[in-house]
């Protein structure tokens, strides 16, 4: 194609700048990069691309508005730029999809080594990209969605056809990659379900313990038993582990295993401290874990029933409090105390307190975080402490990470505390870290 013919392919026209290059995202669109992309196709006789789709972005825009959507889109763009710089060639082209703003596209430049067959590496690139960004995307979006954000990562390759317009070929390429991304996301979901089922069958969970301390003396009251999935897998993150269990209808099975593994771990500990064991409301009804069986188990592992605290969280609502109290009686009859977990994070906290009269009330991290900077949080926690005192319950503040939070909560009369300030979860029982007092 000579220069005159090339010049005839172009016109001067005014368009909105974001159709050319999104300055807020500092990311090009296909309008700007079309000539470079087409050159890749012409020079190699084929072209491949990778697409990254984040469907949750549109839901966030509808729920929180376009400003929040664009802020998250920008952070996602930054994340992908960092990944491209680390894992891709300089000549590969990253852009945002002009017609679907929640999708990013990477067009691959020709391999430097002519013997390299790009087609052989596309699936490997997709898997590497997923591993690189999935946890970071989850951390970025979870505060807004409260569930696992699916990332559709797809790839496709198209061969130049002189019978078909290059622009049509390039658009078909992107469309095919998106469809592959949908398939890949569905496949990954099935693999995750299989992986979780395997964890449950093989009982491949571990238990770690985090200290709960007296806010005045910093002596250890007890330890919360926390479950962790296998290292190096998506299940190593406890939040993802339990979200996936809920998504796959495996919450009861996972919760039962977590409780079993916690007691297995306790068996090897020599302690007279209290052990806080998490449980869903539904598993309180488990006939295999009530009455005589539990009493014999506690005797076998040499722990006093009064030192076992079942933390009942609100992941599943309690629909019938009469039945729940009846089931709970099997535990209280042998001395086991229960705690209401995550107070302040759910809609039915007051109802749970009124109906169950817990021995412990655990204040959720959302109220504890930066409590020294929030008058509203301070008043809410003061009210909870006052309520607990009148009911004969004890307050535990979760997620304490700074000395300022600790000092403020202690001044309110919060009796017990838990958080990274006092110690991270460990496989062995550790004394509280008091170095922050120095």
Number of domains composing the chain: 2
Check: CB of residue 209 under 8 Å from CB of residue 179: no
Q: Residue 20: what pLDDT?
A: 59
168 and 215 inside one domain: no
Query: What local confidence, expressed as pLDDT, does residue 411 receive?
Result: 95
Contact assessment for residue 424 and residue 401, using Cβ atoms and an 8 Å cutoff: no
CATH of the domain at 226: 3.20.20.450
Q: How many CB atoms lie within 10 A of CB 14?
A: 5
The verdict on 216 and 170 lying in the same domain is no
| pLDDT by residue, tens only, the chain of 438 residues | 455 555 566 656 566 666 656 667 788 888 888 899 999 999 999 999 999 998 888 889 999 998 999 899 999 999 999 999 988 988 999 988 877 778 999 999 887 566 556 777 888 999 999 988 988 999 999 989 888 878 999 999 999 999 999 999 999 999 999 999 999 999 999 999 999 999 999 999 999 999 999 999 999 999 999 999 999 899 999 999 999 999 999 999 999 899 889 988 988 888 889 999 888 877 777 776 766 667 777 777 777 778 888 887 755 556 666 776 766 766 665 566 667 665 655 545 666 666 677 888 888 888 999 999 999 999 999 998 998 898 888 999 999 999 999 999 999 999 999 999 999 999 999 999 999 988
Could you report the per-residue pLDDT of 246-271, keeping only the tens digit for each?
999 999 999 989 988 998 898 888 88
312's enclosing H/E stretch is: strand 308-312
Strands 46-53 and 152-159: antiparallel
Work out the number of other CB atoms within 10 angstroms of the CB of residue 97.
17
3-class DSSP state of 211: strand
The CA distance from 96 to 74, in Å, is: 11
Residue after which a domain boundary falls, among 142, 177, 212: 177
E strand or H helix that includes residue 310:
strand 308-312
pLDDT digits 0-9 by tens, 310-348: 887 755 556 666 776 766 766 665 566 667 665 655 545
β pairing state of 416-418 and 394-397: parallel
- Residues whose CB is less than 8 angstroms from the CB of residue 348 and which lie 6 or more positions away in sequence, other chains included: 314, 317, 318
My answer on whether 294 and 233 are in the same domain is yes
Q: Which residues contact 411 (CB under 8 A, 6 or more apart)?
A: none
On whether the CB atoms of residues 97 and 174 are closer than 8 A, the answer is: yes
Q: How much is the pLDDT for 29?
A: 83
CB 315 within 8 A of CB 246: yes
Residue matched to tokens 């107070």: 343
| Domain identity same for 149 and 226 | no
For the stretch 81-117, pLDDT in tens is: 999 998 898 899 998 887 777 899 999 988 756 655 6
Query: Which of 186, 174, 202 lies closest to 260 in space, CA to CA?
Result: 202
- pLDDT at position 208: 95
pTM of the model: 0.81
Structural domain including 90 reads: 3-177
The average confidence (pLDDT) of the chain is: 85
Listed in sequence order, the residues at least 6 apart from 321 whose beta carbon sits closer than 8 Å to its beta carbon are: 355, 356
Residue 325 lies in a domain: yes
Whether 267 is covered by a domain: the verdict is yes
Judgement on whether residues 16 and 99 belong to the same structural domain of the protein: yes
The residue length of the chain stands at: 438
Per the domain annotation, does 185 fall within a domain? no
Q: Tell whether 168 and 212 lie within a shared domain.
A: no
């Amino acid at each position: 194609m000579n220069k005159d013919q090339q010049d005839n392919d172009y016109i001067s026209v005014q368009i909105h700048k974001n159709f050319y290059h999104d300055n807020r995202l500092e990311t090009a669109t296909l309008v700007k990069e079309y000539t470079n992309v087409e050159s890749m196709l012409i020079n190699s006789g084929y072209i491949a691309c990778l697409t990254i789709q984040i469907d949750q972005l549109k839901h966030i825009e509808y729920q929180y508005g376009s400003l929040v959507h664009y802020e998250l889109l920008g952070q996602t763009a930054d994340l992908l730029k960092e990944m491209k710089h680390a894992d891709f060639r300089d000549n590969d082209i990253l852009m945002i999809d002009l017609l679907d703003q929640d999708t990013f596209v990477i067009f691959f430049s020709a391999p430097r080594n002519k013997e390299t067959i790009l087609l052989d590496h596309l699936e490997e690139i997709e898997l590497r990209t997923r591993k690189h960004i999935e946890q970071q995307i989850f951390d970025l979006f979870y505060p807004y969605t409260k569930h696992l954000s699916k990332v559709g990562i797809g790839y496709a390759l198209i061969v130049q056809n002189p019978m078909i317009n290059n622009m049509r070929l390039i658009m078909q390429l992107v469309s095919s990659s998106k469809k592959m991304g949908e398939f890949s996301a569905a496949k990954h979901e099935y693999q995750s379900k299989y992986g979780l089922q395997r964890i449950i069958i093989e009982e491949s969970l571990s238990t770690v313990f985090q200290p709960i301390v007296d806010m005045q003396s910093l002596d250890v009251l007890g330890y919360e038993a926390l479950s962790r999935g296998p290292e190096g897998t998506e299940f190593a993150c406890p939040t993802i582990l339990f979200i996936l269990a809920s998504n796959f209808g495996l919450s009861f099975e996972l919760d039962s295993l977590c409780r079993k593994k916690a007691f297995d771990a306790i068996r090897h500990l020599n302690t007279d401290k209290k052990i806080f064991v998490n449980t869903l409301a539904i598993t309180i009804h488990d006939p295999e874990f009530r009455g005589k069986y539990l009493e014999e188990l506690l005797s076998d592992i040499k722990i006093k029933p009064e030192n076992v605290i079942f933390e009942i969280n609100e992941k599943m609502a309690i629909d019938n409090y009469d039945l729940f109290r009846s089931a709970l009686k099997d535990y209280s009859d042998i001395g086991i105390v229960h705690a209401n977990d995550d107070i302040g994070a759910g809609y039915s906290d007051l109802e749970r307190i009124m109906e169950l009269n817990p021995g412990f009330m655990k204040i959720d991290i959302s109220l504890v975080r930066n409590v020294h900077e929030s008058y509203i949080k301070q008043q809410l926690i003061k009210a909870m402490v006052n309520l607990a005192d009148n009911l004969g319950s004890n307050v535990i503040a979760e997620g304490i990470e700074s000395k300022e939070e600790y000092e403020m909560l202690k001044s309110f009369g919060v009796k017990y505390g838990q958080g990274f300030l006092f110690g991270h979860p460990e496989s062995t029982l550790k004394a509280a870290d008091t170095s922050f007092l120095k």
